[in-house]
């Protein structure tokens, strides 16, 4: 098991060298920005909607004593639930929105690893690639 973990780490660090050798770093700027913006939106949504969800959940507490404590705990539960849903969807959102920008990277790495000197780009539009990312 440890041997496989070390092999994975070695392959991962080797990928950075390959990306540098093929000069592919500019292709990663847009997906990085998409990732940062998506994470920010999820965080702001969790912060902004947690009290609304907390008040909604707190309606089940019918007594006056402990109402503020229950509302506070409900707000925390609301924030955690939004973060959990956001983290579940995060990977899929990033993969779908980054697919059009990662196609050239995939094609160049494939051409390099297969030894093909002249690689052919597929003639697809941004809309078609974005649709393929959601599949």
Asked if residue 44 is part of any domain, the answer here is yes
Taking residues 106-122, what's their average pLDDT?
Answer: 74
Instruction: List C-alpha distances in Å: 112 to 2, 22, 30, 93, 116.
Output: 30, 8, 23, 28, 6
Taking residues 68-82, what's their average pLDDT?
Answer: 91
How sure is the predictor about 112, in pLDDT bands with cuts at 50, 70 and 90? confident
Asked if residue 21 is part of any domain, the answer here is no
Asked if residue 124 is part of any domain, the answer here is yes
Total structural domains within the chain: 1
**For residue 99, what are the domain limits?**
27-133
* Alpha-carbon span 117 to 12, nearest angstrom: 25
Asked if residue 12 is part of any domain, the answer here is no
- pTM value is 0.69
Asked if residue 10 is part of any domain, the answer here is no
For 25, half-sphere exposure in the C-beta direction (CA atoms, 13 angstrom radius) is 5
């Amino acid at each position: 098991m440890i041997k496989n973990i070390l092999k994975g780490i070695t392959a991962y660090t080797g990928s950075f060298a390959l990306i540098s050798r093929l000069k592919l770093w500019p292709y990663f700027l847009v997906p990085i920005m998409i990732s940062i913006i998506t994470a920010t939106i999820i965080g702001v949504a969790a912060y902004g909607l947690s009290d609304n969800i907390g008040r909604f959940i707190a309606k089940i507490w019918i007594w006056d004593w402990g109402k503020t404590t229950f509302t506070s705990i409900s707000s925390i539960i609301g924030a955690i639930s939004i973060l959990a849903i956001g983290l579940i969807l995060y990977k899929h959102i990033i993969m779908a929105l980054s697919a059009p920008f990662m196609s050239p990277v995939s094609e160049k790495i494939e051409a390099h690893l297969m030894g093909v000197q002249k690689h052919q780009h597929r003639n697809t539009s941004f809309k078609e690639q974005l649709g393929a990312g959601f599949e």
